[in-house]
Amino acid sequence: MSSERPLALHLGEVVSAYLDGELPPLERRRAESHLAGCDLCRDELTDMMFVRARLRALPMLELPPELTTKAPVVAPIYRRAKVLVGAAAAAVTMVLALAAMASPGDVVALSGNEFSMTYGARASLDQNQTGRLVPIENLFFGDIDSGVNG
């Protein structure tokens, strides 16, 4: 580490807690008092500030294209087969929920492959015809039973 002196003589991990505002008032004052007279702990604080700033500067990534599409889609649920109801409802609800996460004007859909990978049922939304209602029958394909069971 950066010092051969016992850690107890320095702030150690308290530096991060201080930086994060996670110390109670008394401990915080003690830390500040120590920092005022300790170059080594101030260096440590500088290092932690540097790392934290780098991490905080990472961009919050948008949901990726696999989860989003520009085409507004409304997908009513029709009952087709009992085994599909749960998966279909989950799929459509997921789409609507994810749509809520998109910026205004965007509506979000999950790709069929993404859904089939995760839930064993292939779901798709019509991304070519803006605003078109897509019955749930059209969202699933012929191998749905094997998909559900697989």
Partner 1 sequence: MSETFPLTWEEVARSHGRKIYNYAYRLSGNPHDANDLVQEVLLRVRSGLAEYQPGSFEGWLWRITRNAFLDEVRKRRRRPTLPFPDDSDQVLASFSSPAPDEVLADLRLDDDIQKALSDLPYEFREAVVMCDVIGLSYEEISIAVAIPVGTVRSRIHRGRRLLRERLT
In the complex, the residues that contact partner 1 under the rule CB under 8 A are 12-17, 20, 22, 47-48, 50-52, 54-56, 58-64, 66-67, 90, 93-94, 96-98, 100-101, 110, 114-115, 117-118
Question: Judged by CB, which is closer to partner 1: 27, or 32?
Answer: 27
Report the C-alpha gap between 100 and 114 in whole angstroms.
Answer: 19
Question: Judged by CB, which is closer to partner 1: 108, or 136?
Answer: 108
Question: Judged by CB, which is closer to partner 1: 76, or 142?
Answer: 76
Tell me the closest approach of the beta carbon of residue 4 to partner 1, in angstroms. Answer: 16
Inter-residue contact 17 to 44 (CB < 8 Å): no
Nearest Cα neighbor of 110 from 79, 122, 147, 41 is: 122
Residue 107: phi and psi, rounded to 5, are: -125, 145
Give the number of other Cβ atoms within 10 Å of residue 96's Cβ. Answer: 15
Report the C-alpha gap between 66 and 111 in whole angstroms.
Answer: 6
Tell me the closest approach of the beta carbon of residue 1 to partner 1, in angstroms. Answer: 8
Tell me the closest approach of the beta carbon of residue 86 to partner 1, in angstroms. Answer: 11
